[in-house]
């Protein structure tokens, strides 16, 4: 039985635990700094199992020692955005949290893989790499699955078709400079540009880029968590089932897309080894330009950290 630990029992973390529990994919430990919070949610979720019909063991804890022997650790600890904030505004607080969390993962679960979800995503995943000292393929971030899900849902609404038939691809940093790729987005195998005009696509691209902020503005306190937690589950399943799924993920680059020593959203093959391959796509000039800008802004964020 696999063991999954989720650090941070807030909206994203606890909802991810709920989804994972329902799948019965492994035993789960959920930790948080707030005393009682993970324990209370773990009890509640196990009681839900009596209704929903799952037997997943869920343990809430405030002690890192309980993550020992985890196969996979998902980091959702940190503060979330409030209206008017960019993901980058979270950088200092969350970098401190990430350092503490990742060094404890290295201490108590040295054989695990790490999926980081805390924002600003690509920068915090870099912090997780450095603070854990893990090999880079074992540390990656959840961003592109979520951004692609947002793009796919807007496309399905526009075309009045099933969301299930849309396979979207969004790469680049998880921020205002992300790069949705219409030419690699299909609806039942049909390339998106054959179904929608350039103007319509560009308006959906724009809404996708602002997709997180749109929800933050509506919620007023806190940020999205249903689609983020669903996106975590997709990645956890790919790793635990060693299914070699190709999904956009924040992966450590070693020259791909002309980038080195940076975490960046790219199509990645996920399996038991973590990121087993990064796929390079041909892009048009404008996409390449935005990609470079996006990478530059991540580098700026990393340069400002004291690692
Ligand atoms: N160790 C463990 N948990 C921590 C720590 C820490 N050092 N610091 C904070 N936490 C916990 C908080 O107590 C809280 O329960 O992290 C949890 C965060 O939950 P929420 O505030 O509900 O935030 P959430 O919406 O889950 O977002 C978490 O994911 O999507 C990103 O931008 C988002 O960075 C944010 C993260």
Q: Are residues 178 and 64 in the same domain?
A: no
pLDDT at 82: 84
228 lines ligand 1 (CB under 6 A): yes
Q: Are residues 245 and 193 in the same domain?
A: yes
Give nearest CA residue, ligand 1 atom 35: 80
Give nearest CA residue, ligand 1 atom 9: 78
pLDDT exceeds 90 at position 256: yes
pLDDT at 258: 95
78 lines ligand 1 (CB under 6 A): yes
Q: Are residues 290 and 148 in the same domain?
A: yes
Is 137 tagged catalytic?
no
The residue from 174, 201, 287, 297 that is catalytic is 174
Q: Are residues 165 and 132 in the same domain?
A: no
- The CA 53 to ligand 1 mean position distance, Å, reads 28
Within the chain, where are the H helices? 11-23, 37-52, 91-108, 121-132, 144-159, 198-209, 211-219, 226-240, 285-303
pLDDT interval class at 99 (50, 70, 90): very high
Which residue range(s) make up the domain with 96?
Answer: 3-141
Average pLDDT over residues 198-225: 96
124 lines ligand 1 (CB under 6 A): no
Query: What number does the ligand 1 atom closest to the CA of 87 have?
Result: 32
7 lines ligand 1 (CB under 6 A): yes
Give nearest CA residue, ligand 1 atom 10: 77
- The CA 113 to ligand 1 mean position distance, Å, reads 19
Note the pLDDT tens digit of each residue in 7-52. Answer: 999 999 999 999 999 999 999 999 999 999 999 999 999 999 999 9
CB 240 within 8 A of CB 25: yes
- Asked whether the CA dihedral 95, 19, 137, 273 is positive or negative, the reply is positive
11 lines ligand 1 (CB under 6 A): yes
Query: What percent of the chain shows pLDDT beyond 70?
Result: 100
pLDDT at 306: 80
Instruction: Give the domain CATH number at 58.
Output: 3.40.50.720
- Asked whether the CA dihedral 110, 115, 116, 121 is positive or negative, the reply is positive
Per the structure, the count of domains in the chain is: 2
Q: Are residues 49 and 184 in the same domain?
A: no
- The CA 12 to ligand 1 mean position distance, Å, reads 8
Average pLDDT, the chain: 97
Note the pLDDT tens digit of each residue in 147-167. Answer: 999 999 999 999 999 999 999
Instruction: Give the domain CATH number at 293.
Output: 3.90.110.10
Give nearest CA residue, ligand 1 atom 7: 97
Query: What percent of the chain shows pLDDT beyond 90?
Result: 95
Q: Are residues 237 and 116 in the same domain?
A: no
Q: Are residues 177 and 278 in the same domain?
A: yes
Note the pLDDT tens digit of each residue in 260-301. Answer: 999 999 999 999 999 999 999 999 999 999 999 999 999 999
Mutate which of 10, 63, 67, 221 for ligand 1? The one with the most ligand atoms within 8 Å of its CB, which is 10
Q: In whole angstroms, give the CA distance from residue 46 to residue 60.
A: 11
Of 141, 165, 186, the residue that ends a domain is: 141
Q: In whole angstroms, give the CA distance from residue 197 to residue 206.
A: 14
């Amino acid at each position: 039985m696999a063991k999954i630990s989720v650090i941070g029992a807030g909206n994203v973390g606890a909802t991810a635990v709920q989804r994972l529990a329902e799948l019965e994919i492994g035993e789960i430990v959920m930790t948080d700094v707030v005393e009682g919070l993970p324990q209370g949610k773990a009890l509640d979720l196990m009681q839900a199992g009596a209704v929903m019909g799952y037997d997943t063991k869920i343990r809430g804890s405030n002690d890192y020692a309980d993550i020992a022997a985890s196969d996979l650790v998902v980091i959702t600890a940190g503060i979330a955005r409030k209206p008017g904030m960019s993901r980058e505004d979270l950088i200092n607080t969350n970098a401190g949290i990430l350092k503490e969390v990742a060094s404890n993962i290295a201490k108590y679960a040295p054989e695990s893989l790490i999926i980081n979800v805390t924002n600003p995503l690509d920068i915090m995943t870099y912090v997780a790499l450095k603070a854990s000292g893990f090999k880079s393929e074992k540390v990656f971030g959840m961003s592109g699955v979520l951004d692609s899900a947002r793009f796919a849902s807007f496309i399905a609404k526009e075309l009045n078709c099933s969301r299930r038939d849309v396979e979207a691809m969004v790469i680049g940093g998880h921020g205002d400079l992300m790069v949705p790729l219409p030419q690699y987005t299909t609806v039942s195998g049909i390339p998106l540009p054959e179904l929608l005009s350039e103007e319509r696509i560009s308006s959906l691209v724009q809404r996708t880029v602002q997709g997180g902020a749109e929800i933050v503005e509506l919620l007023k306190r806190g940020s999205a968590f249903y689609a983020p937690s669903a996106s975590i589950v997709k990645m956890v399943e790919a790793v635990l089932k060693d299914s070699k799924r190709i999904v956009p993920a924040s992966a450590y680059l070693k020259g791909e897309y002309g980038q080195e020593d940076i975490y960046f959203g790219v199509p990645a093959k996920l399996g038991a080894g973590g990121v087993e391959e990064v796929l390079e796509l041909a892009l048009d000039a404008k996409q390449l330009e935005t990609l470079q800008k996006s990478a530059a802004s991540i580098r700026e964020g990393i340069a400002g950290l004291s690692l």
